[in-house]
Amino acid sequence: MEKLLTSILLLLMTVGPACAQQGLKDALGKYFLVGVALNTYQSDGKDPRATQIVRQHFNSIVAENCFKGEALQPEEGKFDFSSADRLIDYARSNHLTVIGHCLVWHSQAPRWMFTDRNGQPVGRKVLISRLRRHVRTVVTHFKGKVHGWDVVNEAIEDDGSFRKSPYYNIIGPEFIDIAFEEAHKADPKVELYYNDYSMSMPGKRAAVCRLVRHLKAKGLRIDAVGFQSHNGLNYPDLHEYETSMDSVAATGVKVMVTELDMNILPNPWNFGGAGIEQNYQYDKVMNPYADGLPDSVSTRVNSRWMDFFRIYYRHRAQISRVTLWGLTDGSSWLNDWPIKGRTNYGLLFDRNYQPKPCVADIIRLFSK
Ligand code: G3I
């Protein structure tokens, strides 16, 4: 009996630390890629504590900003891949799969993309040529180094109508087809995605599924739809969120959770119905946890994270990636949007680089 106890103790002593070191990627990686968006400070390898978390918990990364149009082609015909190439090197050193974000987006597009030298809107032919050149050059540059691309980002409104972006207004909805066609021509092996937020909205859900069917009917490659998932304590409606996953999966493509985070602060636009212009008057009310998170709220936050990850567990066969939109609460864009300088708590690791309690619960959920 004593011998048996000793061997069990020895086993626990050896296995125990390994379990304690088990990361999200070990438990969730059986089903889908587990990713995180990095800022350039992190992807330049300047934050060793960040790299330690990345190595333990993630097998994929995406650039929060340095793969966007304004960064890669700041002047027409002049490409700057320096920061993006350092991210590729960082990924290679840390055995991480790279996702490209994003080729065509109305925001953070190159400043010159939509206007001529007199500042007037360019014509359809010019913009198509500029769009093709950007997509072709960027995808070619990263051929064999990027697993998949957010080809078009946020082209559809919550009600299902097309966003009246300069791409839409000048080219028409065909800009989407052209972007997917050009990306596939540049790298026939790379995965191609459409990416958007508020995917739980029925109007957007229907329009995105229509878009996927349209692209497939034209023989264009599309592998997945990205559900950005900038979630909150009280949104999205979880039933609608799941319904959208089922609807997108039914079109024959995978579901990706591409920019997962959770805003836990009051939003100015629905704060007592007051408009955003009032937020400067309510900054204390709009920034209630500047000095830390009450236990009651922390418990609510961890529970809400489990709401989302139980959904991802149920839909694991439909999902091919879950990516967090940032590593630690301190590096989240949510601290500055929609109001600059707030203290949000939107991610899985806190400002001290420590995993929140839900991380262990998530690992347990996917390890069962
Ligand atoms: O690089 C400049 C820097 O030179 C300058 O000193 C500084 C002054 O504020 O701004 C810096 O640019 C900022 C950029 O992030 C890089 O840090 C921009 O101001 C800032 O607006 C930009 O915010 C990014 C935002 O996209 C822009 O829309 C966020 O970091 C990024 O998390 C966010 O990510 C988007 C996804 O790409 C698409 N889905 C929505 C998501 C949230 O908006």
Q: How confident is the model at residue 268 (pLDDT cuts 50, 70, 90)?
A: confident
* Partner residues linked to 230 by β-bridges: 261
Contacts 24+ apart (CB under 8 A), 248-253: 248/199, 248/205, 248/208, 248/209, 248/212, 248/318, 249/315, 249/318, 250/209, 251/209, 251/212, 251/213, 251/216, 252/212, 252/216, 253/212, 253/222, 253/223, 253/224, 253/225
> Which pLDDT belongs to residue 284?
81
Summarised one tens digit per residue, pLDDT across range 337-360 is 988 899 999 999 999 999 999 999
CB 223 within 8 A of CB 194: no
What CA–CA distance (Å, rounded) separates 229 from 248?
15
pLDDT digits (tens, 9 = 90+) for 39-79: 999 999 999 999 999 999 999 999 999 999 999 999 999 99
Task: List, for residues 81-94, the tens digit of each pLDDT value.
Answer: 999 999 999 999 99
Asked whether the beta carbons of 37 and 326 are under 8 A apart, the reply is: yes
Tell me the C-alpha distance between 359 and 302, whole Å.
Answer: 9
pLDDT for residue 17: 46
The rounded distance, in Å, linking the Cα atoms of 227 and 199 is 6
Band (pLDDT 50/70/90 cuts) for residue 36 is very high
Confidence class for position 267, pLDDT limits 50, 70, 90: confident
- Summarised one tens digit per residue, pLDDT across range 9-28 is 555 554 444 445 899 999 99
- CA 110 to ligand 1 center in whole angstroms: 13
Q: Are 38 and 327 in contact (CB under 8 A)?
A: yes
Q: Which of 108, 229, 335 to mutate to test the pocket of ligand 1 (most atoms within 8 A of CB)?
A: 108
Position with higher pLDDT, 6 vs 129? 129
* Residue where the block lists tokens 């439909």: 318
Cβ(74) to ligand 1 under 6 A?
Answer: no
Is the beta carbon of 108 within 6 A of some atom in ligand 1? yes
- Residue 177: phi and psi, rounded to 5, are -60, -45
Do 25 and 59 meet the contact criterion of CB atoms below 8 Å apart? yes
* pTM (2 d.p.): 0.93
CA nearest neighbour of 356 among 311, 313, 293, 310 = 293
- Compute, in angstroms, the gap from residue 296 CA to the centroid of ligand 1: 31
39, 65 contact by CB (below 8 A): yes
CA distance 96 to 57: 11
